[in-house]
């Protein structure tokens, strides 16, 4: 009973309180639950199944580019973490420390990995000897820990799931190529699978990863106009190689340092899917990443033949490779509809005695709620086509939302006005000084998201902050 | 150069020093590397790819039985670990403790999960309310940490990868059914996929899992005659439910405790594959779990047309769904042969100018080294058939090895003689007292492995240790 009550409560409307709407969806679509471990979440079946689909598709794409999976220890001895100066400064304040093993104190404390550059470097230092050993393109799927003060499900959690790729190359050019290749792979994945358009760009020095020479990012725009960094790819140059002594003998038998990259995507993507596509009835999942694509919901299921025909319909769709389930529970159809909507299942098929008599069924799109009548002999191809349409329509809508939420500003007053009144990205010129970047952040809470990789026309010729000559076009915005 | 030297060194022979042979294979087949974190290993691509195949197949089988995947936090607050008395006694001495988050000490220390019963129970206590919520059949793929003193790659490691299933049921019968179902699933998986016969049995009370009412196990026999516990399935009854207050209202609106199970398999299985099938040339992988099933090795590859034909051959096999690679590196064919053998790739295809002229190639089985000539137009079906033959032959050989290494003993003198002189399992009667079990272990180092689930004829009618009447048939053995 307690359960039933929970479900009929409407979720908060997005327009009323976006943050509360997000929390409601995450809970009521049964993606996560809070745990007794502060700042850590339980990822429930409906949430984990989305992650499994993300993994499957990303992993396939990685392997097509020659990436191999490995597994490194989850602990990093303190001395190892300290080998690269910028890196330790960036991460040491937010790691969890293991000090005891069983009943005894450890000789050296270890942190739970916040990221594994140091472990991969330590490994590469032994494993790489000759140019024949290069490139190394390794990836691992694991969880990492960052001791955040404020946490939100999927977006910022003390423990989260991710993949981290770590590569080593003979030349700087090759490392840069791999960095860009993986960023593009991430962007294509977001656009093609998650129906989520992104801005591909480079981070400013201030915002780059601790220890990196350059960080590239994809930035997505959430429904409330805030940006979400959705994947990053770092070029380390030979900085880590020098700190860890990762050298190889080249074809001329000379010792050279390797050049490295790393790149990662996380369960944060599930938060992005929610905030890009969701609506006031709950989750809306793009068909390609939806664990369930179709829910068959029988009407008057107690009447003779209804459940049998619904079962047949389900079997037919399943046979065509569509991820489908039949809801033959004892709840009312209306209840089942709102559950299917809350969970974001792209299509529901309604089938009752009258439909069966007329040799048809009704398909309802989750994204637009459009109803489509369909004769029973055409269901499979209609559903397949509809899934495709939904996938593309969702991308098109998200793209239109992104494009209509970019403000070009020339003056600081315009900038401040945009931050206040125009949710979305702000395109403005920047002189390149960290002072201006800090001032903007302090004055407005907007941060530099990225400098776009695609050539874009300059908005002005002076810095939006200090007025000095400026050549750098930057996307700014409030961000998660 | 250092690398080349490593490879030509022969590995230690199994008969000379089995433990050293194991270590050599693990290193030279490039399955793992040692890491800077004592007792933890780096799982390299060749090792991790085996684990990926194990995961894929087990996960498919789990899901067929209605299991759903989830993810729980990796940390357990100390107070949560302490809720079930036997459980905390079993695990507290070997956990790693996190005491600091970032720069601050934690209010309550947490351990890194050695297993997640307590986290699942904590979750179920909130998530389960009514009989409609049951059963819950959840599983997670993750790593766990146990602070072992002595470690060996795959077999005993401070951190290892595994899956842990945790289910909750309305009745004791249903929980027992699930416990047995998963044990049989494990056994079938080992036999069908890993070509590894196992004894299915129940653990004695002394050997059961901390907090369980009953533990079932599958025990495999390694080439050196030692047993390896390869998977376990536990029935908790309502013990954890009472400790954690996991109750549901039944159909009559009465409060009842749930009945729970858990079951796990680990990267230890990779150790089992090595020690059941390996030989003095290295790893021998069963085709169904082998990341690469066929290596095409061209002979005189610099001659015109050889590489092209080899490439065609590879493409043809790949098209048929066979996992195949072409070794077109600049090493000599002999070198490539021993690499392929070391890595345990089930079949190599040799193809040189003379073969091409004759319209044939040579297939060489890794398990028996048998050479099979095959016309090029028949390669795909011949390889497919051969992979099947190898899979079955490997199982048959391992089964014969197991069966020929079981000693039935009636007296304590026979028992002691068998432990000394007859590697393998010892079948002997036991009165059921822990004293006898302890005495046997202290006198001989052999432990009770399991009481077989399949009905087997009694070896005698008195306990092999104390001579009192005994009805329990036990498999004993030295174990990893």
- ipTM confidence score: 0.95
* Residue range A297-331, pLDDT digits in tens: 999 999 999 999 999 999 999 999 999 999 999 99
| Pick from A341-350, B9-18, B391-400: least confident | B9-18
Which residues of chain A lie closer than 8 angstroms to B102, CB-CB? 93-96, 147
C-alpha distance from residue A259 to each of A235, A236, A372, B36 (Å): 8, 7, 55, 22
Report chain A's mean pLDDT, rounded to a whole number. 96
* Residue range A441-464, pLDDT digits in tens: 999 999 999 999 999 999 999 999
Choose among B97, B122, B130: nearest Cβ to A98.
Answer: B97
Q: How high is the pLDDT of residue B87? A: 85
Which residues of chain B lie closer than 8 angstroms to A132, CB-CB? 3
Choose among B37, B49, B70: nearest Cβ to A75.
Answer: B37
Percentage with pLDDT > 90 across chain A? 94
Do the chains contact at B99 and A95, CB–CB below 8 Å?
Answer: no
Q: State which residue of chain A sits closest to B160, comparing Cα positions.
A: A73
* Residue range A135-149, pLDDT digits in tens: 999 999 999 999 999
Do the chains contact at B49 and A69, CB–CB below 8 Å?
Answer: yes
Choose among B43, B101, B130: nearest Cβ to A147.
Answer: B101
**Span A271-278, mean pLDDT?**
98
In 3D space, the residue among B355, B397, B361, B359 whose CA is nearest the CA of residue B382 turns out to be B361
Question: Is B123 in contact with B167 (CB distance < 8 Å)?
Answer: no
- Distance CA(A262)–CA(A138), nearest Å, equals 9
Q: State which residue of chain B sits closest to A122, comparing Cα positions.
A: B36
pLDDT over 60 (residue B95): yes
Do the chains contact at B33 and A97, CB–CB below 8 Å?
Answer: no
Three-state secondary structure string covering chain A: CHHHHHHHCCCCCCCCCHHHHHHHHHHHCCCEEECCCCCCEEECHHHHHHHHHHHHHHHHHHHHCCCEECECCCEEEHHHHCCCHHHHHHHHHHCEEEEEECCEEEEEEEEECCCCHHHHHHHHHHHCCEHHHCCEEEEEEEEEECCCCCCECCCECCEEEEEEEEEEECCHHHHHHHHHHHHHHHHHHHHHCCCCCCEEEECCHHHCCCCCCEEEEEEEECCCCCEEEEEEEEEEECHHHHHHCCEEECCCCCEEECEEEEEEEECHHHHHHHHHHCECCECCCCCCCCCCCEEEEECCCCCCCHHHHHHHHHHHHHHCCCCEEECCCCCCHHHHHHHHHHCCCCEEEEECHHHHHHCEEEEEECCCCCEEEEEHHHHHHHHHHHHHHHHHHHHHHHHHHHHCCEEECCCHHHHHHHHHHCCCEEEEEECCCHHHHHHHHHHHCCEEEEEECCCCCCCCCECCCCCCECCEEEEEECEC
End-to-end CA separation in angstroms for chain B:
36
Do the chains contact at A102 and B122, CB–CB below 8 Å?
Answer: no
Band the pLDDT of B479: cuts 50, 70, 90.
Answer: very high
Q: How high is the pLDDT of residue A7? A: 53
Helix (H), strand (E) at residue B448:
strand B447-452
B399 Cα to chain A: minimum distance (Å): 32
Band the pLDDT of B84: cuts 50, 70, 90.
Answer: confident
B99 Cα to chain A: minimum distance (Å): 6
Q: How high is the pLDDT of residue A92? A: 87
Which residues of chain A lie closer than 8 angstroms to B123, CB-CB? 33, 35, 42
Band the pLDDT of A9: cuts 50, 70, 90.
Answer: low
| Residue predicted with more confidence, A119 or A36 | A119
End-to-end CA separation in angstroms for chain A:
36
* Residue range B154-200, pLDDT digits in tens: 999 999 999 999 999 999 999 999 999 999 999 999 999 999 999 99
B70 Cα to chain A: minimum distance (Å): 5
pLDDT over 90 (residue B7): no
Do the chains contact at B112 and A98, CB–CB below 8 Å?
Answer: yes
Do the chains contact at B96 and A100, CB–CB below 8 Å?
Answer: yes
| Pick from A4-18, A317-331, B177-191, B235-249: least confident | A4-18
Interface of A with B in 66-125 (CB under 8 A): 68-77, 80, 93-103, 110, 112, 119, 122-123
pLDDT over 80 (residue B9): no
Do the chains contact at A72 and B42, CB–CB below 8 Å?
Answer: yes
Do the chains contact at B161 and A71, CB–CB below 8 Å?
Answer: yes
Q: State which residue of chain B sits closest to A110, comparing Cα positions.
A: B37
* Residue range A156-193, pLDDT digits in tens: 999 999 999 999 999 999 999 999 999 999 999 999 99
Question: Is B84 in contact with B211 (CB distance < 8 Å)?
Answer: yes
Choose among B45, B74, B95: nearest Cβ to A102.
Answer: B95
* Residue range B275-330, pLDDT digits in tens: 999 999 999 999 999 999 999 999 999 999 999 999 999 999 999 999 999 999 99
Report chain B's mean pLDDT, rounded to a whole number. 96
Question: Is B112 in contact with B95 (CB distance < 8 Å)?
Answer: yes
Choose among B33, B45, B74: nearest Cβ to A143.
Answer: B74
Which residues of chain B lie closer than 8 angstroms to A3, CB-CB? 129-130, 132-133
Choose among A48, A103, A145: nearest Cβ to B71.
Answer: A48
Question: Is B444 in contact with B451 (CB distance < 8 Å)?
Answer: no
Q: How high is the pLDDT of residue A2? A: 40
Do the chains contact at B130 and A3, CB–CB below 8 Å?
Answer: yes
B300 Cα to chain A: minimum distance (Å): 21
Q: State which residue of chain A sits closest to B103, comparing Cα positions.
A: A93
Buried residues in A367-388 as b, exposed as e (16+ CB within 10 A) = beeeeeebebeebbebbbebbe
Question: Is B21 in contact with B13 (CB distance < 8 Å)?
Answer: yes
Question: Is A210 in contact with A95 (CB distance < 8 Å)?
Answer: no
Q: State which residue of chain A sits closest to B95, comparing Cα positions.
A: A102
pLDDT over 90 (residue A4): no
A60 interfacial to chain B (CB closer than 8 Å): no
Interface of B with A in 127-186 (CB under 8 A): 127, 129-130, 132-133, 138, 142-143, 145, 147, 158-159, 161
Band the pLDDT of A85: cuts 50, 70, 90.
Answer: confident
* Residue range B402-451, pLDDT digits in tens: 999 999 999 999 999 999 999 999 999 999 999 999 999 999 999 999 99
**Residue pointed to by tokens 């005894």:** A104
Q: How high is the pLDDT of residue B209? A: 93
């Amino acid at each position: 009973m307690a359960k039933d009550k929970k479900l009929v409560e409407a979720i908060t409307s997005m327009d009323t309180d976006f943050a509360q709407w997000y929390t409601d969806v995450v809970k009521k679509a049964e993606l996560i639950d809070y745990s007794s471990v502060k700042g850590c979440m339980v990822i429930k079946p409906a949430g984990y199944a989305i992650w499994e689909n993300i993994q499957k598709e990303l992993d396939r794409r990685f392997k097509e580019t020659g990436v191999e999976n490995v597994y490194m220890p989850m602990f990093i001895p303190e001395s190892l973490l300290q080998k690269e100066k910028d890196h330790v400064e960036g991460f040491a304040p937010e790691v969890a420390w293991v000090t005891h093993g069983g009943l005894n104190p450890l000789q050296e404390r270890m942190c739970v990995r916040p990221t594994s550059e140091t472990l991969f470097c330590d490994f590469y230092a032994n494993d790489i000897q000759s140019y024949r050993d290069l490139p190394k393109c390794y990836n691992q799927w694991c969880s990492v820990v960052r001791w955040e003060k404020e946490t939100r499900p999927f977006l910022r959690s003390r423990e989260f799931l991710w993949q981290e790729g770590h590569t080593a190359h003979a030349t700087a050019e090759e490392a840069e190529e791999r960095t860009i290749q993986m960023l593009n792979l991430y962007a294509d994945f977001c656009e093609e699978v998650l129906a989520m358009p992104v801005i591909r760009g480079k981070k400013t020095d201030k915002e780059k990863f601790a220890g990196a020479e350059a960080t590239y990012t994809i930035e997505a725009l959430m429904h409330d106009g805030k940006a979400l960094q959705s994947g990053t790819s770092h070029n380390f140059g030979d900085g880590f190689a020098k700190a860890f002594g990762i050298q190889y003998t080249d074809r001329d038998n000379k010792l050279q340092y390797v050049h490295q990259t790393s790149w990662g995507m996380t369960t944060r993507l599930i938060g992005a899917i929610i905030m890009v596509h969701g609506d006031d009835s709950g989750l809306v999942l793009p068909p390609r990443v939806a664990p369930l694509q179709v829910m068959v919901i029988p009407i008057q299921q107690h009447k003779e033949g209804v459940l049998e025909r619904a079962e047949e319909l389900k079997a037919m769709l399943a046979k065509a490779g569509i991820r489908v389930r039949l809801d033959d529970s004892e709840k009312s159809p209306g209840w089942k509809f709102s559950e299917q909507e809350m969970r974001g299942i792209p299509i529901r098929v309604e089938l009752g005695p009258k439909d069966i008599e007329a040799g048809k069924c009704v398909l309802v799109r989750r994204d637009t709620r459009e109803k489509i009548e369909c004769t029973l002999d055409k269901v499979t191809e209609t559903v397949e086509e509809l899934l495709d349409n939904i996938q593309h329509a969702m991308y098109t809508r998200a793209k239109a939302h992104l494009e209509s939420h970019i403000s070009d500003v020339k003056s600081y007053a315009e900038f401040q006005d945009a931050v206040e009144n125009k949710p979305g990205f702000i395109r403005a010129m920047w002189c390149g000084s960290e002072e201006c970047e800090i001032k903007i952040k302090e004055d407005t809470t907007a941060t530099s998201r990225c400098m776009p990789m695609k050539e874009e026309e300059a908005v002005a010729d002076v810095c939006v902050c200090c007025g000095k000559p400026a050549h750098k076009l930057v996307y700014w915005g409030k961000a998660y």
